[in-house]
Amino acid sequence: MKNRLFLAIFLSVLTFCVFSAVTAMAQDNASSQTGNDNTIEGTVVSSSRSTMVVKTEDDKFQLFTFDGNTSKPRSIAVGSRVRVVSSEGDVTGSRLASSVVALSAPAAGQGRRSAESPAAPIPPAVRDVESDIKREARRWRLGVRAGVALDPELVLFGVHSQMGPIFSKNVFFRPNAEFAWGEVTDMIDLNFEGIYRTPIASRRGRWSSYIGAGPSMNFIHQGYQPQSGQKRDFSFSNFDYQTGFNILTGAQFRSGTFFEVKTGLWARPAPTLRLILGYNF
């Protein structure tokens, strides 16, 4: 009965994520009709591997993002004038640059002064979106996680590393280690999971959904708590090894926070369901 209940909860959360993603796709399709290419000229006030902020003649700031199809100079100096052809971006508040042409180089010393103290500060809203995009574009990120597990009941915490994208812009490798303990069960998990960011999710908004899976190495010890005054015996020789396979789904925010629901297969007495809150630095 418990297993059926946990499976129903997991499927309900998965259905919710898929429904949210489909709704987001419909919104994206509706908005894409107005996302025609346009051309902007201005002065570069900020530039990185994945983003660029341009100040136009009417003192407006526009954030651009780059992808593998963007045609641009190898380096874009702060203070230079550029012409940018772009379309509606994947993230609210940005545009995806398809072509960047340098019109003029910055005057002597202008690039350094502009980088240190631009004539007009970039609005905080643009800065925040730019920072989120830069964080999300990192090829390698560390993170922490914590949560609870059910059947058996455990409290868990862990660390993980996220690498990618690999093979596709939506595929990431995210190995992690989780440490959990409860009244009866102690567990150490090494999980070799990959996640797939669903392309139908709302990448224009602040979050996107993902699904994932991967094998796990489970070291589990079960035994009742010692009586009062006795120390709990913690030894790796008391742990039994089980190989399992995890299936997961979740939602991740551009700020780095994510919420994840995970179930394990073929690894009893590993928990049937885990609810995890984490953060990618």
List the chain pLDDT tens, one digit each, 281 residues: 455 555 545 554 555 555 444 444 444 444 444 445 799 999 999 999 889 999 998 889 999 999 888 999 988 999 999 999 999 877 778 899 999 999 998 876 655 554 444 456 888 888 888 888 887 778 889 999 999 999 889 999 999 999 988 888 889 999 999 999 998 889 999 999 999 998 765 555 678 899 999 999 999 988 765 555 555 565 656 788 989 999 999 999 888 899 999 999 887 888 889 999 999 99
Look at residue 169 in the predicted model and tell me its pLDDT: 81
Q: Do 120 and 238 fall within a single domain?
A: no
Number of domains in the chain: 2
Asked, for residue 96, whether it belongs to a domain, the answer is yes
Q: Do 174 and 145 fall within a single domain?
A: yes
Look at residue 201 in the predicted model and tell me its pLDDT: 56
Beta strands 61-65 and 94-104, pairing class: parallel
Last residue of a domain, one of 89, 121, 136: 136
Look at residue 269 in the predicted model and tell me its pLDDT: 84
Look at residue 36 in the predicted model and tell me its pLDDT: 59
Alpha helices (H) along the chain: 2-32, 110-116, 124-136
Q: Do 262 and 208 fall within a single domain?
A: yes
Look at residue 47 in the predicted model and tell me its pLDDT: 92
Alpha helices (H) along 87-201: 110-116, 124-136
DSSP 3-state of 61: strand
Q: Do 148 and 253 fall within a single domain?
A: yes
Look at residue 134 in the predicted model and tell me its pLDDT: 82
Q: Do 82 and 108 fall within a single domain?
A: yes
Residue 81: beta bridge partners?
43, 104
Q: Give the span between the Cα atoms of 50 and 30, in whole angstroms.
A: 26
Last residue of a domain, one of 117, 136, 155: 136
Q: Do 162 and 102 fall within a single domain?
A: no
Look at residue 29 in the predicted model and tell me its pLDDT: 45
- What residue numbers bound the domain in which 85 lies? 38-136
Residue 212: beta bridge partners?
195, 248
Backbone torsion region of residue 164, taken as left when φ is above 0, otherwise alpha when ψ lies between -120 and 50, otherwise beta: left
Asked, for residue 45, whether it belongs to a domain, the answer is yes
Q: Give the span between the Cα atoms of 236 and 79, in whole angstroms.
A: 60
